[in-house]
Amino acid sequence: MQDLRYQVEVNAQATYIEAQSNPSDGRFVFTYTVTIENNGTLPAQLLHRYWKITDGEGGVREVHGDGVVGEQPTIVPGDEFTYTSGAILETAIGTMEGYFEMVASDGEIFKAKIPVFTLLNPGALH
């Protein structure tokens, strides 16, 4: 059972950016908006991110880094932090998933899972 002090829910949604993509060159550009909601009882600061990006051919790229979009936000209970970033794939479809490493105000470090979501060029579906 997850400790009620450290409940952070993450939701993400991707959008295909046709104007910046060039399918004939294997360039598919996506933005994704992530909402991080603190449903726990303690403030928590986002320290690090980990992404696993899988393209439509099974190729995997991993991304590690500090914070998100240049920030390491602290999210108080009942509040949320939303940001938008981007990814470029060589295929029309892919997935992203991962986690955020967080530290609660009591010093406890925990991971907030980012559920898998799809990157999809709608034109790829026939």
Give tens-digit pLDDT for 80-111. Answer: 999 999 999 999 999 999 999 999 999 999 99
The pLDDT > 90 percentage for the chain reads: 92
Average pLDDT, the chain: 95
| Statement: residue 55 has pLDDT above 90 | yes
CATH of domain 4-124: 2.60.40.1470
Strands (E), the chain: 8-16, 28-38, 44-55, 60-66, 74-75, 80-89, 93-104, 109-120
pLDDT of residue 2: 61
